[in-house]
Amino acid sequence: MRSPPGAQSSTPKLLLAVGLFLATFATTTTFGAGFYLSTRTDVVTDLVPAIEWVFLGQLAQFLALTNYIFRTVWSDGQLLEIGLAFSLPTLAILLSHELGHYVACRRNNLPSSYPYFIPAPLLIGTFGAFIRIRAPIRTRRELLEVGAAGPIAGFVVLLPILLYGIAQSEPVSIVEVDWDLPGGLLLLRPGTSLLMSVATLVFHGSLPANSVLNLHPFALAAWVGTFVTALNLIPVGQLDGGHIFYSAFGRRYAWLSWVFLGLLAVLGFLWPGWWVWCLVLMIIGPRHPPVLAGRQPLDRQRRAVALISLLILVLTFMPVPLELLPILP
């Protein structure tokens, strides 16, 4: 029996997608364990790779440390359990995001690739995932559906993960010290979005100024999901937020993208990572290419989808996504 047209050519691409997913599962499980331990106030760990070694040209040391982390995590049942408790919900959120885009493309007869994950031997173990759309988007309605489907699908999955994770997290007191104080420890502290703040208030009440949450692995996975969702919803260029805002405002969107770039530049004084993100967006290009039928207006239902996407951005955005705090052991 002959295979259907295109089946043979799509098989290697499917195998590539599956292979990248499995590789990302391995890296998020491995480095997620170290990332989780580095956010705890009650644990000291050497399982976080020194990223700066790569830039100093000390690649051999970096590879040796990476190998050490893999061997340590996968030979220790407790560490492996922690890694899985982080990687499985993280991948569920990221996969649901990309499948949202994928299904929206199929609904609108737009050819697209499978979701491709990007494994990374750093921090959380991945640089995220993406799909490629292999045809021009015809209308603003299609653009909105494809752009909004990913963040909304990811948000639906991350919400129960976040609520469970925050409920299982533990408030603890810390003592911050000066950076130059000998004997201090560095605490990697994930930032807080409006959504996480509300969940914390519901489950733990108002925390004192000198308190933080020792996050459950599910809460840390939800933190990754909120960060990725907010990044994608920034209304600049061809990010998901750019698609959504362009579909809602048409050519008037151009000046809005520069406004948001300016806001990110200002936020860079709180977290320098926003300056890096501004540079990336400038290289990619803040402008959005026109769709084929750009004058077609959005109906009421799609305008509601655009508003929901904006609400998700407000709920998930973190002015300071990650910071290092020197604390007393």
Of the chain, the percentage scoring pLDDT greater than 90 comes to 57
pLDDT of residue 311: 96
With 90 as the cut, is the pLDDT of residue 44 above it? Answer: no
pLDDT of residue 284: 81
Distance (Å, rounded) from C-alpha 61 to C-alpha 291? Answer: 48
Q: Which of 284 and 109 is assigned the larger pLDDT? A: 109
Q: What is residue 39's three-state secondary structure?
A: coil
Q: Which of 236 and 297 is assigned the larger pLDDT? A: 236
Mean of pLDDT over the chain: 87
With 50 as the cut, is the pLDDT of residue 225 above it? Answer: yes
β-pair type (211-214, 170-173): antiparallel
Return the number of other C-beta atoms located less than 10 Å from residue 15's C-beta: 11
DSSP string, 287-303: --PPPTBTTPPP-HHHH
Q: CA angle 202-203-206, nearest 5°? A: 70
pLDDT of residue 307: 93
Tokens standing for residue 180: 């130059």
Out of 117-126, 282-291, 292-301, the most confident range is 117-126
Asked which of 52-61, 240-249, 272-281 is least confident by mean pLDDT, the reply is 52-61
pLDDT digits (tens, 9 = 90+) for 14-42: 999 999 999 999 999 999 999 999 999 88
pLDDT of residue 5: 42
Q: Please tell me the pTM assigned to this model.
A: 0.90
Q: Which residues contact 249 (CB under 8 A, 6 or more apart)?
A: 256
pLDDT of residue 210: 84
Distance (Å, rounded) from C-alpha 309 to C-alpha 147? Answer: 9
With 90 as the cut, is the pLDDT of residue 51 above it? Answer: no
pLDDT of residue 283: 86
Tell me the Ramachandran region of residue 272: left when phi exceeds 0, alpha when psi lies from -120 to 50, beta otherwise: alpha
Distance (Å, rounded) from C-alpha 204 to C-alpha 82? Answer: 23
> Where do the structural domains in the chain lie, given as residue ranges?
9-327
Distance (Å, rounded) from C-alpha 179 to C-alpha 198? Answer: 31
Distance (Å, rounded) from C-alpha 108 to C-alpha 88? Answer: 30
Distance (Å, rounded) from C-alpha 90 to C-alpha 218? Answer: 8
DSSP percent split of the chain into helix, strand, coil, nearest 5: 60, 10, 30
Distances from the Cα of 106 to the Cα of 99, 101, 169, 233, 291, angstroms: 10, 9, 39, 21, 18
Tokens standing for residue 171: 């408030």
**Mean pLDDT over residues 303-316, rounded?**
94
pLDDT digits (tens, 9 = 90+) for 80-116: 999 999 999 999 999 999 999 999 999 989 999 999 9
pLDDT digits (tens, 9 = 90+) for 121-155: 888 999 999 999 888 888 888 899 999 999 999 99
Q: How confident is the model at residue 231 (pLDDT cuts 50, 70, 90)?
A: very high
With 80 as the cut, is the pLDDT of residue 181 above it? Answer: no
CB contact at 8 A, 114 and 106: no
pLDDT of residue 294: 58
With 70 as the cut, is the pLDDT of residue 6 above it? Answer: no
DSSP string, 62-129: HHHHHHHHHHHHHT-HHHHHHHHHHHHHHHHHHHHHHHHHHHHHHHTT--BPPPEEEE-SSTTSEEEE
pLDDT of residue 134: 87
CB contact at 8 A, 95 and 110: no
pLDDT of residue 170: 94
Burial class (CB in 10 A: 0-12, 13-18, 19+), 138: middle
Of the chain, the percentage scoring pLDDT greater than 70 comes to 91
Separation of CA 325 from chain center: 22
Q: Which of 165 and 66 is assigned the larger pLDDT? A: 165
Distance (Å, rounded) from C-alpha 244 to C-alpha 232? Answer: 11
CB contact at 8 A, 236 and 260: yes
Q: Which of 298 and 213 is assigned the larger pLDDT? A: 213
